[in-house]
Amino acid sequence: MDIDGTLIENTSSLFEPYLGSGKPIYENLEVINKFYNSNKSSIIFVTSRPESFRAETISELSKHDIRYHKLIMGLPHAKIFLINDFSTSNLFPSSISINLPRNSDNLGEYLNNL
């Protein structure tokens, strides 16, 4: 899952609001933390934030009590593809992509329809 525009209102290293000062999107944070607490999901954040902002990013996530398992930084600001396999032992593809409108607070609605 992306961070900026999904869990924290979109921020930038180049213009205000700057990285580390974004407002949390509380409704989405509740959804993600619920998944984390279920112990049935692995929460992996991906971001185009540069690796040089790792400490600020971890601090921001901690400040807003955003729970996760892994943080992947430095992705290009481009399309992200999740590619996964499936077989007859798994009756349906096990990967889903959700494109959430930037800074919206309705992640739960997208996930409830799955």
Q: What is the mean pLDDT of each run of 10 residues along the chain (114 residues)?
A: 93 84 93 92 92 94 95 92 80 80 92 73
pLDDT of residue 4: 93
Cα–Cα distance for residue pair 40/38, rounded to 1 Å? 5
pTM of structure? 0.84
Q: Which of 6, 22, 11 is nearest to 99 (CA)?
A: 6
pLDDT of residue 41: 84
pLDDT of residue 113: 64
CA distances from 3 to 49, 51, 79, 94 (A): 9, 14, 15, 22
Domains of the chain, CATH where assigned: 1-89 (3.40.50.1000)
pLDDT of residue 114: 59
pLDDT of residue 85: 82
